[in-house]
Amino acid sequence: MSKIIKNLKQFSTANERLEGAHLLCPGCAHSIIVRELVNCTDHNLVIANATGCMEVCTAVYPYTAWDTSWIHIGFENAATSAGAIAETYKVLERKGRLNKNAENTKVLAIGGDGATYDIGFQFLSGAVERGHDFTYVCLDNEVYANTGGQRSSSTPVGASTTTTPAGSQSIGNKTTKKDMIGIMAAHGAPYVAQVAPNKWKDMIMKFQKALEINGPTFVNAMSACTTEWRFPSHQTITVSDLATDSLAFPLYEIENGVYTINYRPKNIVPIKDYLAIQGRFKHLFKPGNEHIIEEWQKRVDKKWVQLQKMEEMTNS
Amino acid sequence: MANVGWDEVNDAALLNPFENSMQDLVNTAQSDRDYSLFSSFSASTASWRVVKPIYNSDVCIHCQNCWVYCPDSAILSEEKKMQGIDYDHCKGCGICADVCPTNPKSLIMYEEATVEDSALASWPEKKKKEKKA
Amino acid sequence: MSKEYVLKEVEFWDGAMASSQALRQAEVDIMAAYPITPSTPIIQNYADYLSNGYVDGEYIRTESEHAAMSACVAASAAGARVTTATSSQGFALMIEVLYQASGMRLPVVLNVANRALAAPLNVNGDHSDLYLGRDAGWINLCTFNQQEVYDMTLMSFKIGEHKNVRLPVMVHQDGFICSHTAQNVAPLQDDVARKFVGDFEAVDSLLDFARPVTYGAQTEEDWHFEHKAKQHKAIMDSINVIEDTFEEFEKLTGRKYNAVESYMMEDAEIAIVALGTTIESSIEAARQLREEGIKVGIVAPRVFRPFPYDKIADALKNVKAIGILDRSSPGGALGMLFNEVTAAIYTNDTKPVINNYIYGLGGRDTTIADLKQIAKEIQANADAGKLTTPVQQFSGLRGPKLSFFDMESSK
Ligand code: SF4
Ligand code: SF4
């Protein structure tokens, strides 16, 4: 029962399922994304949340911000938990023990990039490979924000983090971001997509699709982090716009192997404009580091060409 | 929430956001829900704020940009109409003011101590479009 | 609906089969498991029942034991009767989630075919894994033979799911010695077993949307202590339900179980305290020794957690000397069973002489002769009224005698 949401006015009639007074930082994109996620559908939702900012800030006894069923077990096992809940649903339904009020339930897993790209990678791989009917949403802020800003395998080149601090001998993080979307697609997941909260319509369209499609679906959500990316809290949407318009986070989906680019910026913004607004990349603008930004631009351009080719190839 | 003793805390630290049985959650407005003391709806983050958004309904076009981008579920919206700010839950991030498209803005960030009436009385005028060079 | 599996009055089952059959009769909804020797046949048998319609459930073939226990916790919170089985390294990998299961008060049942922990790697039986999980907040039931594996596994669901308990339960059996050797087992017929275990009643289910629930909230310094205290009280109090369940089972089968089992203790002068299949060997050794005039009895905690402190003290109140046997490398201390049993009898008026044996590590065979030798040393302590040996000795070990705390010679 995904609802049809034609415009924002209509969307705004949704009754909230994530309450305020959670403890996420002012301006956090996590809760923008998750609000849109839980409010874009009428399905009952069971959420398995991995350890991370979203988890640690929404269920601190004696308060829960969740109006729907929610469980946090560990850092690494949100996908496993979601898969197991989906299997339980199946068994209880078959054995006639499912609550009447549980009809039309969808199972969601939520994790940060730490939980998804790193510590829970094997668990996610296992759960997707087994084909459980659930949707995994990664809140990708490219850093272990909850533990104080350490790099993850999603952290891009040149980001200064607390474990890859930029300094006289270091440009910050030296590795390129892991291609989680490609990896999930390679598992044969029927639906894989990337979203960003500033493009709310695209985002909820993909969330709805991911929830509706039977089997394991994966959505990587770009989540600008005011604290660790170091920008003022009111600029979350501005930074997100630069991320999508510079193609640092291209918005696309892969449905049964078929690529679709969902957003083609009218004016592609240079990557340096996206980097310049964030404190974590400040050092890249010092003399001598120009090449890092140039290489970055090349990488983005190349990925964009690749994506367009994949789209062409898989649609022909 | 009072700090009760071990014999009174919830088994397994489970939290139920609603007092009684909740039928048809998605079709029940917040105002009609029977929130328990365990829902963060019952809590407040007002003390986090340094600045706060003030809302001017005269300029608002009810586009709901502020509603969709507020990270703290603090924009009160009813029947497609912006109703104002939920100051118990607003943290003062300023996103709503940033994304508000009207000219002048319908949401502007002010010092927390600002009196709403005086802010509204001296609301900025419509800005002229900067001519493109 | 699952097919009935007709059982003979007496079956010839190994320990793994005994537990699988009990799991089948309990009509487990979800098994989530990863194979590891020697627990593997337990899950294979279940897979077989599933493939042939003898049980209606789902088997989640996880990619690790950590995931297996994670799936159990989530499925249990969603209202399923769940189970898994493991050993050794797999058990070690589960540890994080064991604490989650008990902290969330979820009645998961875990069959453990006890096995040593690496390094060095070893696939055989000792109690290292059992000891590793002892503070995880689970009810621990110990078995000494295949019949008991079947009985305890059936009872574990009834105990853990009881509304006053709501805690996960482990059932331990010795790897290989019990899990892979067969003895006569008298099972219940399916309908009788099902009736005994009862239907699963979901509590605070994630799939009850009339009452949405948040599982796994964080509690910091102003709440954590109270929650852990309440959880501790629940497991301490569970002894009542455990004993009631034992009684109900006795009425049904005639097989009587106790929180602490005593064998030949009525007139015993000395006692051996141990766990696992060593109990059966000790009983045989005791029979032989009694012919020589040595009055040895055996005491074994059937319920290892909650630890029956008072009942241990009572069982050992009349003996002059006690040998406490630990089948786990103590890693720089006296054996755990030694420490706990010694603490339990401290308040008894009798002050028996107590010593500790480390034995049988990594599946080293413990023979009747070994146990008789141990009993004779305990008897010597009783006769002397003091230690005639060091406090801790290794039994069945090659090389020079290894022992610690020679209290007499250090005087
Ligand atoms: S963003 Fe501005 S114009 Fe749009 S609803 Fe909010 S206050 Fe009104
Ligand atoms: S300032 Fe931030 S928290 Fe407050 S209403 Fe605006 S967007 Fe929401």
Domain count, chain B: 1
Can you tell me the distance from the alpha carbon of C395 to that of C364, in angstroms, rounded to the nearest whole number? 10
Give the model confidence (pLDDT) of A242-272 as tens digits. Answer: 999 999 999 999 999 999 999 999 999 999 9
Contacts of B23 in chain C (CB under 8 A): 210
CA-based torsion, A283, A224, A251, A105: positive or negative: positive
| Parent domain of A191 | 8-314
DSSP sequence for A46-103: EEEE-SSHHHHHHEETTEE-BSSEEE---SS-HHHHHHHHHHHHHHHHHTT-S-GGGS
Can you tell me the distance from the alpha carbon of C156 to that of C283, in angstroms, rounded to the nearest whole number? 26
Average pLDDT over residues C254-273: 98
Please state the separation of Cα A77 from the chain's center in Å.
17
Establish if A235 belongs to a structural domain.
yes
From the list B5, B11, B16, the residue facing C211 with the nearest CB is B16
Can you tell me the distance from the alpha carbon of C343 to that of C324, in angstroms, rounded to the nearest whole number? 12
pLDDT of B67: 98
Report ipTM (2 d.p.): 0.97
Around ligand 2, the residues with Cβ closer than 6 Å are: B 53, 70, 72, 74-75, 85, 90-96
Closest CA to C167 of C82, C97, C235, C83: C235
pTM assigned to the model = 0.97
Please state the separation of Cα C176 from the chain's center in Å.
15
Contacts of B11 in chain C (CB under 8 A): 105, 166, 230, 234
Domain count, chain A: 1
CATH number at residue A260: 3.40.50.970
Give the model confidence (pLDDT) of C65-120 as tens digits. Answer: 999 999 999 999 999 999 999 999 999 999 999 999 999 999 999 999 999 999 99
For residue A90 the two structure tokens come to 């199946």
Domains within chain C, CATH numbers bracketed: 11-253 (3.40.50.970), 260-404 (3.40.50.920)
Give the model confidence (pLDDT) of A218-246 as tens digits. Answer: 999 999 999 999 999 999 999 999 999 99
pLDDT of B131: 65
In B, residues 42-81, which contact A (CB 8 Å cutoff)? 42-45, 48, 62-65, 67-74, 77, 79-80
Which amino acid type is present at position B82?
M
What spacing in Å lies between the alpha carbon of A238 and ligand 2's midpoint? 15
Residue C411 pLDDT exceeds 70: no
Can you tell me the distance from the alpha carbon of C59 to that of C50, in angstroms, rounded to the nearest whole number? 8
Residue C300 pLDDT exceeds 90: yes
pLDDT of A48: 98
Q: Distance from C214 to chain B by nearest Cα, in Å? A: 5
| Residues on B contacting C at a C-beta cutoff of 8 Å | 3-7, 9, 11-18, 21-23, 25, 38
pLDDT of C410: 61
Q: How confident is the model at residue A176 (pLDDT cuts 50, 70, 90)?
A: very high
| Parent domain of B113 | 45-120
Which amino acid type is present at position A297?
Q
According to DSSP, the β-strands at C11-14 and C30-33 are unpaired
For residue A267 the two structure tokens come to 């004016």
Give the model confidence (pLDDT) of C373-385 as tens digits. Answer: 999 999 999 999 9
State chain C's mean pLDDT as an integer: 97
Q: Distance from B83 to chain C by nearest Cα, in Å? A: 28
Place of tokens 């350890």: A51
Q: How many residues does chain A have?
A: 316
> Which ligand 2 atom minimizes the distance to the CA of B69?
7
Residue B122's SS3 state is: coil
* Inter-chain residue contact A20 with B89, CB threshold 8 Å: yes
Place of tokens 């059936």: C154
Residue C366 pLDDT exceeds 90: yes
Can you tell me the distance from the alpha carbon of B129 to that of C193, in angstroms, rounded to the nearest whole number? 81
pLDDT of B128: 83
Residue B1 pLDDT exceeds 70: no
Contact criterion met (CB below 8 Å) for C177 and C207: no
Closest CA to A132 of A92, A82, A174, A167: A82
Give the model confidence (pLDDT) of A106-160 as tens digits. Answer: 999 999 999 999 999 999 999 999 999 999 999 999 999 999 999 999 999 999 9
For residue B63 the two structure tokens come to 């586009």
Characterize A104-126 residue by residue with b for buried, 16 or more Cβ atoms within 10 angstroms of its Cβ, and e for exposed: ebbbbbbbbbbbbbbbbbbbbeb
State chain A's mean pLDDT as an integer: 97
Establish if A3 belongs to a structural domain.
no
Contacts of A67 in chain B (CB under 8 A): 17-18, 25, 33, 39
Residue C10 pLDDT exceeds 70: yes
Place of tokens 């305990």: C378
CATH number at residue B72: 3.30.70.20
Can you tell me the distance from the alpha carbon of B69 to that of A34, in angstroms, rounded to the nearest whole number? 11
Give the model confidence (pLDDT) of B20-36 as tens digits. Answer: 999 899 999 999 999 99
Neighbours of B117 (CB within 10 A): 9
Residue C328's SS3 state is: coil
Can you tell me the distance from the alpha carbon of A45 to that of C206, in angstroms, rounded to the nearest whole number? 9
Establish if B89 belongs to a structural domain.
yes
Average pLDDT over residues C334-351: 95
In A115-246, at which residue ranges do the beta strands (DSSP E only) sit?
A: 135-140, 191-195, 217-222
pLDDT of B102: 97
Contact criterion met (CB below 8 Å) for B109 and B66: no
Q: How confident is the model at residue B132 (pLDDT cuts 50, 70, 90)?
A: low
Residue B133 pLDDT exceeds 60: no
* Inter-chain residue contact A234 with B93, CB threshold 8 Å: yes
